[in-house]
Amino acid sequence: MVADLQRRLVELRFVEGIEKVEHVPYPTGDQFWVRFNSKLDFGKFEDIAKKHGCGMVRFASLPSKLPRPIAEMLWDGVSHVITKNISGWTKFTAFFGSEPDGIAKIATDLHGPYEIYIAMQEEGVQILYEYLGLNYVPPALPPKPVTPAKPAVPTAVKPGATAPRPVPPPTPVTAKPTPPTQPTHANPPQAAKAPEPPKPTAPVVEQNKDAKTQSTG
């Protein structure tokens, strides 16, 4: 896989000799395409590939020699493949159009006279930077996942040893509810007694002094 595609696009867009830089997504993985506006030095590419333990295999030599209408139906324009696994059988099958699994490849633009460098892996991008004489900066590594802490394992009790008794949780102190104070009923004011009517006094009868005199005389 090719990483930091947006950064690569900015770094190579205005380099001399490069016409266009593209990010081409594929179901099998994203590819990094660099279209040149001049002929490539295949010998220089091959020497750089050898430094990385790779080799350059010529591809589709037979289909590319067919007439253009037929060649376009059988051949996608790839002329060289940079791969790590090179054998005599790989070279033989590549001659007839069986593309080996590689880290980069070079294709001839069927609509122009120049080549397109296609990187499928990050190591293919590094080879391209060395070919252009640019400083290669590897992509930033993703942050490492945080490993969750392991739960504490309870200590096993040996046979014959008395296991510590569990300490009961402290009993919560509950405050006694204060009984509600009964409202004091004030004595209702007594009704004022009505004054008693004065008792009638017996009239004093004045006896006739003359009668009294008569009785005594």
Neighbours of 35 (CB within 10 A): 17
DSSP state of 47: H
Helix (H, G, I), strand (E, B) or coil at 109: coil
Torsion, Cα of 88, 126, 22, 63 (10° steps): -10
Taking the domains of the chain in order of start, what are their residue ranges?
5-132
DSSP character at residue 132: H
Q: What is the pLDDT of residues 14-23, one digit of tens each?
A: 899 999 999 9
pLDDT of residue 211: 44
Nearest-angstrom CA–CA distance, 103 and 118: 9
Question: Position of tokens 């490069």?
Answer: 18
- Which tens digits make up the pLDDT trace of 125-184? 999 999 999 999 888 765 555 566 666 666 555 656 555 666 666 666 555 556 555 555
Give residue 214's pLDDT: 46
Q: How many CB atoms lie within 10 A of CB 163?
A: 7
The rounded percent of the chain whose pLDDT value lies above 70 is 53
Q: Quick check: pTM over 0.75?
A: no
Do 30 and 24 form a contact (C-beta atoms < 8 A)?
yes
Crossing angle of helices 42-51 and 122-132, rounded to 10° = 130
Q: Is the pLDDT reported for residue 101 higher than 90?
A: no
